[in-house]
Homo-oligomer: A and B are copies of this chain.
Amino acid sequence: MVPTPPAALVLADRLSAALASSVTVPLGLDLAAVAAGAVFGALLALRRALDITGVLGLAIVGGLGGGVVRDVLLDQPPVALADAAYLPTAIGAGLAVALVGHALARVDRLLEVVDAFALGLFAIVGASKALDAGLGPVASATVGVVAATTGGIACDVLSGQRPHVLGPGPIYAWAAVAGSAAYVAVDELIGSVPFAVAAAMAATVVLRWLAIHRGL
C-alpha cells in the first residue's frame, strides 16, 4: 500500500473534481434519495418475505443502485463509493425498516408513498448532475429517468419478479419522465434550482397519485 500508483492520483483528482462540480443540487437531496430508495427496497423485501439478508441487500441496491448507474453513465466515479455517508445511509434505512417494518399495518400503502418520493428525488439529482456534466436537456432528462427507475428494476430482478416499470397497470416510468423533464425545463428556462426541485417533485408525486388512485 506504500507507493502511490499513478491511477490512484488520477482517480483522486477526478473524485475531487466530481465532488466540486455538485454545486447546484445540495448533497442532502442525494442522501434523501438514497434513504428513500433504501426504505423502498427494504419494504419491498419485507412484502416479498425475504429475510434480513434480503432486506439489507435490497436496501443497498434500492438506495445506491440508481446513483451508481447514473454516475457510470456520466463517466464519473460513483459518489456512493467516494463519499463515506452513502453506504451507512442505505444500511441505516434498511435496518430501521427491518426493526419496525413488521409492525407496519399497511406496508403496501407506505411503499407507494416512499416509492413516489424516491422516484422524484432520484430524477431530480440525476437530471441535475447530468446538466452539471454538460449534457443537453434531453440527455439530462434521460439520465434522470434512468437514475429514478434503475433501483426499482434491480430490486425487482434480484427478488425474482418481473420489473413493474414496464407496466401493465399504473404508469410508473411516466412519473419519472415527468419529474425529470420538469426539473430540466424549469432549471433551463427559469434558472432556479429550488423551483426546479419543487416542480419535479410535484410532477412525480401527482402523477404517481393519479396513477394509483385514479387508474391513470
Give A residues with C-beta under 8 Å from B. 1, 3, 5-12, 14-15, 17-18, 20-21, 23-24, 45, 50-51, 53-54, 57-58, 68, 72-78, 81-82, 84, 87-88, 130-136, 138-139, 142-143, 153, 157-163, 165-168, 171-174, 187-188, 191
Bound: A10/B174 CA distance, A: 32
B78 contacts A1, CB within 8 Å?
A: no
**How many copies of the polypeptide does the oligomer hold?**
3
Bound: A6/B133 CA distance, A: 9
A23 contacts B50, CB within 8 Å?
A: no
Bound: A191/B15 CA distance, A: 25
Asked, given contacts A1-B24, A160-B162, A191-B1, whether A167 binds B54 with beta carbons under 8 Å apart, the answer is yes
**A interface secondary structure, majority:** helix
Write out the residue numbers on chain B whose beta carbons fall within 8 Å of the beta carbon of A15. Answer: 134
Write out the residue numbers on chain B whose beta carbons fall within 8 Å of the beta carbon of A73. Answer: 68, 72, 78, 81
B168 contacts A87, CB within 8 Å?
A: no
Bound: A3/B26 CA distance, A: 15
